[in-house]
Amino acid sequence: MSVEESNQCDPGSSGRAELKIHRRAMLLVATTPILVPFACSRTDGTADPAAGDPPVAASPVRAEVPDLRPFPPSIEPLVRIKVANTARRTVELGRVGQRLWITQPGSESAGRAVRGPVRIVRDDEGWSVRWSQGGRGSSARFVGAGPLAIADGDAQAQGIDFEGRRLRGTIRIVSIRNTAGEPELDLVCTLPMEQYLPGVLEKELFASWRPATFEAQAVAARSFAVCERAFWLRRRHYDMVAGQASQAWSGGAASRRSRDAVQATAGRVLLWRGQVVPAYYSAACGGRPANAIEAISANQVNRIAPLTVDGGTARRRCGCTTDSPHADWRISVGEDAMVEALRAYGRRVSNQALASIRGPVEVTVRRRNAAERPIDFEVRGSGDPIPVVLPAGRVRSVVADAGGRRSWKDGPRSACLELTGADRGYRIEGRGFGHGVGLCQYGAESMARGGASNLEILARYYPGATVGVAWESAAPPQAAFS
Ligand SMILES: [Zn+2]
């Protein structure tokens, strides 16, 4: 299928009523290989304009900008998940008696079959591996800078134990240097997408939630992972982190509900104009969803209809506004703490106006999106003629800093917030939990309880997107080992 042909699968433009979108949601079966351009989308969500930068314009979808989102892969991809990073030079892996197969990919070294647990030590010349066999100590040596790969050698691959977790897939230990030039080790699991996803659902959703919620989440998580992999494949040694920076991951252990949802949606990804949608999701949108271009990053891949909020009222009635503990919340921070947090941020980004700001400080919403969620704020210190403009996400993190990085219950749960002056401080009122882009997990569960299918849920939270089958699952996910 050529690019032009695949673009003909475009279901149309944004702005349809959600029910119409759902009826037109279609399944596209990829029967021929599809061109997969690598290194195309940046979706790690770390971009954040520094203080004083021109704010990102909330402009509508622009068709003339090249769309660098990936095309759906025609075969199930492997994904690389960073599960740990350590400043130690030693890693211990495996259960007592477990068969492990150790290799150094790309080197001349022969692989070694060993018995767990193994103790692996990195030094300047390479890797030392020690284990116990028949009561006697054994060791092997792998020379060179390349990573060491440890595979589960048991017939019933159960995963490899590491610090109380059981990790699925092949584990690579990669020797890196941190930004200060100090040596560290990264642990990266590599495994097929469909085996990875159950462990995502396991951590992202409550066990009691409905199957349709799990299925919608499976399609979103798969689509997000496809985009991350496409971007990072040739840029770094992992695609995603197991955690909030990407997607939570249990390491592989998953309930039947998680595994069933992945199997029921195997290979299905969200598409818009024939290319995969980086399907962001968060816990609760608070009825005021965010645009990806403002809340995730200014990358053009985020300027697409399914990730853009329109002025309709559908999301204001999102179930999370009635059926979640995050519908609205209130916290307070002291004025001195807020001023110091603003100054500290100003010093970090070399913004003189912020670094020397004096209280009392006014923090007011400057612009809102079509759903009335704040996009950015004006921060005006005592005696300052010109306010500093900060994106809403930055204001959220400054408020979190001012609160001493307390638990999520006591901190700002989202950037959908407003500050009002109170006695020597601020009262902060907010809605929702998380960045508010794309699928709202509490809202999805509310729909599922009302009988909605996974397609209806996806159509509501990614308006204009369709669901297509990118690859047929080679085999059902392996049995649980929870
Ligand atoms: Zn919501």
Between vectors from CA 305 to CA 50 and to CA 55, what angle results, nearest 5°?
A: 20
- pLDDT computed for residue 415 by the predictor: 97
Interval between CA 457 and ligand 1 midpoint (Å) = 11
What ranges do the domains of the chain cover?
88-177, 329-430
Tell me the pTM: 0.84
pLDDT, tens only, 374-396: 999 999 999 888 999 999 999 99
Interval between CA 254 and ligand 1 midpoint (Å) = 26
Interval between CA 437 and ligand 1 midpoint (Å) = 10
Interval between CA 288 and ligand 1 midpoint (Å) = 7
- pLDDT of 25 > 60? The answer is no
How sure is the predictor about 134, in pLDDT bands with cuts at 50, 70 and 90?
A: confident
The DSSP code for 57 is P
More confident residue, 139 or 51: 139
Report how far residue 330's alpha carbon sits from residue 310's, in angstroms, rounded to the nearest whole number.
Answer: 27
More confident residue, 18 or 319: 319
- pLDDT computed for residue 33 by the predictor: 29
Interval between CA 320 and ligand 1 midpoint (Å) = 4
- pLDDT computed for residue 10 by the predictor: 26
pLDDT, tens only, 258-275: 999 999 999 999 999 999
- pLDDT of 61 > 90? The answer is no
More confident residue, 20 or 419: 419
Interval between CA 280 and ligand 1 midpoint (Å) = 13
- Count CA atoms closer than 13 A to 481's CA, side-chain side: 16
Interval between CA 466 and ligand 1 midpoint (Å) = 20
- pLDDT computed for residue 34 by the predictor: 31
The two tokens of residue 428 are 């902060």
Interval between CA 318 and ligand 1 midpoint (Å) = 5
Report how far residue 478's alpha carbon sits from residue 160's, in angstroms, rounded to the nearest whole number.
Answer: 15
Is residue 41 classed as helix, strand or coil in its secondary structure? coil
- pLDDT computed for residue 313 by the predictor: 64
Interval between CA 401 and ligand 1 midpoint (Å) = 26
pLDDT, tens only, 225-246: 999 999 999 999 999 999 988 9
How sure is the predictor about 59, in pLDDT bands with cuts at 50, 70 and 90?
A: very low
The strand pair at 148-152 and 90-93 is best described as: unpaired
Report how far residue 183's alpha carbon sits from residue 175's, in angstroms, rounded to the nearest whole number.
Answer: 7
Q: Sort 306 into a burial class: Cβ within 10 Å, 0-12 / 13-18 / 19+.
A: buried
Interval between CA 380 and ligand 1 midpoint (Å) = 31
Interval between CA 408 and ligand 1 midpoint (Å) = 18
DSSP 320-379: GGTSSTTSSEEEEEEHHHHHHHHHHHHHHTT-HHHHT--SS-EEEEEEE-TT--EEEEEE
Report how far residue 154's alpha carbon sits from residue 134's, in angstroms, rounded to the nearest whole number.
Answer: 18
pLDDT, tens only, 291-337: 999 999 999 999 999 999 987 666 678 999 999 999 999 999 999 99
pLDDT (mean) for 433-454: 97
pLDDT (mean) for 131-151: 91
Interval between CA 286 and ligand 1 midpoint (Å) = 5
- pLDDT of 45 > 60? The answer is no
The two tokens of residue 365 are 């919403």
- pLDDT of 6 > 60? The answer is no
How sure is the predictor about 106, in pLDDT bands with cuts at 50, 70 and 90?
A: confident
Interval between CA 441 and ligand 1 midpoint (Å) = 7
Interval between CA 440 and ligand 1 midpoint (Å) = 5
Interval between CA 275 and ligand 1 midpoint (Å) = 25
Report how far residue 291's alpha carbon sits from residue 307's, in angstroms, rounded to the nearest whole number.
Answer: 6
- pLDDT computed for residue 109 by the predictor: 82
